[in-house]
Amino acid sequence: MTYCAALKMNNHLIFMSDTRTNAGVDNISKFRKMFTWSVPGERVITLMTAGNLATTQAVVSLLDERSKAPEERDPTILQAPTLFQVARLIADTLNEVVNERAEEGQDAEAAFRATLIMGGQIEGMEPRLFLIYPEGNFIEASSETPFFQIGETKYGRPIILRAFDPDMTVEQALRLLCVSFDSTLRANLSVGMPLDVHVYEADSLDEGAQFRIDEANPAFSVISKGWGDALKLALEGLPEFTVPSR
Amino acid sequence: MTYCAALKMNNHLIFMSDTRTNAGVDNISKFRKMFTWSVPGERVITLMTAGNLATTQAVVSLLDERSKAPEERDPTILQAPTLFQVARLIADTLNEVVNERAEEGQDAEAAFRATLIMGGQIEGMEPRLFLIYPEGNFIEASSETPFFQIGETKYGRPIILRAFDPDMTVEQALRLLCVSFDSTLRANLSVGMPLDVHVYEADSLDEGAQFRIDEANPAFSVISKGWGDALKLALEGLPEFTVPSR
How many CB pairs (< 8 A) connect A and B? 140
Using the predicted structure, report yes or no on whether residue B82 has a pLDDT greater than 60: yes
Q: Which of residues 208-237 of B touch A (CB under 8 A)?
A: 209, 211, 219-220, 222-223, 226-228, 230-235, 237
In a domain, B243, yes or no: no
Residue range A232-237: average pLDDT? 92
B110: alpha, beta or left? (left if phi > 0; alpha if psi -120 to 50): alpha
B111: exposed, middle or buried (C-beta count within 10 Å: 0-12, 13-18, 19+)? middle
pLDDT in tens, B159-179: 999 899 999 999 999 999 999
SS3 B142: coil
A119: containing domain:
3-151+190-215
**Which of A233, A243, A246 lies nearest to residue B170, judging by beta carbons?**
A243
CA distance linking residue B165 with residue A184, whole number of Å: 20
Residue range A111-137: average pLDDT? 95
In a domain, B165, yes or no: yes
Which phi and psi (to 5°) does residue A37 adopt? -120, 145
pLDDT in tens, A40-98: 999 999 999 999 999 999 999 999 999 888 676 678 999 999 999 999 999 999 999 98
Regarding pTM above 0.90, the answer is no
In a domain, A183, yes or no: no
In a domain, B245, yes or no: no
Least Cα distance to B38 among B73, B62, B18, B67 occurs for B67
pLDDT in tens, A135-164: 899 999 999 999 999 999 999 998 999 899
Determine which helix (DSSP H) or strand (DSSP E) holds A65, and give its type and residue range: helix A53-68
Of the listed ranges A145-154, A184-193, B22-31, the least confidently predicted one is: B22-31
In a domain, A239, yes or no: no
pLDDT at A29: 84
Chain A residues with CB under 8 Å of B5 CB are: none
Asked if B243 and A174 come within 8 Å (Cβ–Cβ), the reply is yes
What's the residue count for chain A? 246
Q: What value of ipTM does the predicted structure carry?
A: 0.85
Q: Looking at the 3D structure of chain A, how many domains does it have?
A: 1
Q: Which of residues 136-155 of B touch A (CB under 8 A)?
A: 154-155
In a domain, A171, yes or no: no
Residue A78 sits in a domain of what CATH number?
Answer: 3.60.20.10
pLDDT in tens, B140-161: 999 999 999 999 999 999 899 9
Q: Which of residues 60-89 of A touch B (CB under 8 A)?
A: none
Which phi and psi (to 5°) does residue A39 adopt? -120, 100
Asked if B223 and A239 come within 8 Å (Cβ–Cβ), the reply is yes
Please, which pLDDT band fits residue B246 given cuts at 50, 70 and 90? low
Chain A residues with CB under 8 Å of B156 CB are: 158
Least Cα distance to A49 among A61, A39, A34, A63 occurs for A34
CA distance linking residue A59 with residue A137, whole number of Å: 15
In a domain, A35, yes or no: yes
Identity (one letter) of the amino acid at A180?
S
In a domain, A233, yes or no: no
